[in-house]
């Protein structure tokens, strides 16, 4: 799927007009940051990718636009199993090198190089880039996100959690902080650390209490913990917020079946 998506993106990129201004302007930087934020919300819908590309174009700054394309290709390269298609990463590096040729010293552009190396499995190269950039600005939000990716690929749970927390602390705004905390919860969930995931999701939903996805994840953890009363309460909250939210409707039906038939809880998610 990601290979096909990358190929479609490359065809679209060939038809797009890019800024001629080689300067790394503040307008370009602001558009770049907004585009990265849109890509951070990517959930498999290609519309997020095209919207981000248009945002990068709008900055009228060639290096930031090219770097934005590189980041978009990295995001598009992710497979459903968490792997990354090499073609997409190689294409991302080509666009990144174009950006670096005209603006070689911008941390928020160069950090993409560490991501490409990380997802290619070139951990020594990624570590060199990360260490160099951290000497320049150890509290940069984009850089700390790359640290999370690095340690996550290494399979080091303690370091991944550590860098998730540092990233949340360095967030430039509340949405960034909430998104980072939510992803920490997702990571705990992947690791089977249900109590930790539940605590993080509850913290996040306290500040974003209309977030349907967060409430549903809380419901699923209660289901795994066989806490039927809490499943029902949180699932009702989801359906109040969005009555047609398909995962919550599915859980509602499972709850009804559980009540009528009894028996052990099933697993509603992998």
User: Do 2-185 and 186-270 agree at the fold level?
Assistant: yes
For 229, the 3-state DSSP assignment is helix
Give 259 or 46, the one with higher predicted confidence: 46
Domain 186-270 architecture: Alpha Horseshoe (1.25)
Give the Å distances, CA to CA, from 193 to 150, 186, 266: 20, 10, 18
Is the per-residue pLDDT at 269 higher than 50? Answer: no
DSSP 8-state symbol, 61: -
| Band (184; pLDDT cuts 50, 70, 90) | very high
> 84 has which bridge partners?
78
Q: What is the C-alpha to C-alpha distance for residues 162 and 139, in angstroms, rounded to an integer? A: 14
Q: Which tens digits make up the pLDDT trace of 199-243?
A: 999 999 998 999 999 999 999 999 999 999 999 999 999 999 999
Strand partners, 78: 84
Q: What is the pLDDT of residues 140-166, one digit of tens each?
A: 999 999 999 999 999 999 999 999 999
pLDDT over threshold 90, residue 256 = no
Q: Each residue of 91-132: pLDDT tens digit?
A: 999 999 999 999 999 999 999 999 999 999 999 999 999 999
208: tokens are 């974003």
In the chain, where the domains are located:
2-185, 186-270
pTM to 2 decimal places:
0.89
Query: Is the pLDDT confidence value at 264 over 70?
Result: no
Class for domain 2-185, per CATH? mainly alpha
For residue 120, give the nearest of 156, 147, 88, 145 by alpha carbon. Answer: 88
Could you say which DSSP state residue 103 is in?
-
Determine the pLDDT at residue 146.
98
Which residues, other chains included, contact 50 with Cβ-Cβ below 8 Å and sequence gap of 6+?
12
């Amino acid at each position: 799927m990601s290979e096909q998506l990358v190929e479609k993106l490359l065809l679209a990129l060939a038809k797009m007009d890019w800024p001629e201004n080689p300067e790394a302007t503040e307008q370009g930087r602001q558009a770049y940051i907004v585009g990265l934020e849109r890509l951070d919300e990517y959930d498999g819908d290609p519309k997020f990718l095209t919207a981000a590309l248009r945002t990068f174009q709008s900055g009228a700054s060639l290096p930031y636009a090219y770097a934005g394309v590189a980041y978009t290709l990295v995001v598009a390269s992710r497979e459903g199993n968490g792997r990354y298609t090499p073609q997409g990463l190689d294409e991302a590096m080509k666009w990144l090198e174009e950006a670096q040729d005209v603006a070689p010293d911008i941390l928020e552009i160069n950090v993409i190089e560490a991501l490409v190396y990380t997802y290619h499995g070139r951990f020594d190269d990624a570590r060199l880039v990360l260490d160099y950039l951290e000497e320049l600005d150890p509290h940069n939000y984009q850089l700390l996100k790359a640290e999370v990716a690095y340690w996550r690929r290494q399979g080091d749970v303690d370091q991944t959690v550590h860098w998730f927390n540092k990233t949340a602390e360095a967030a430039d705004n509340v949405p960034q902080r909430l998104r980072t905390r939510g992803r920490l919860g997702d990571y705990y969930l992947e690791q089977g650390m249900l109590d930790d995931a539940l605590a993080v999701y509850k913290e996040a939903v306290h500040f974003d209490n209309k977030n349907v996805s967060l409430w549903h994840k809380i419901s699923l953890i209660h289901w795994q913990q066989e806490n039927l009363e809490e499943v029902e309460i949180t699932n009702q909250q989801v359906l109040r917020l969005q009555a047609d939210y398909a995962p919550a409707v599915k859980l509602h039906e499972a709850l009804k079946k559980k009540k009528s038939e009894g028996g052990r809880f099933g697993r509603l998610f992998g």
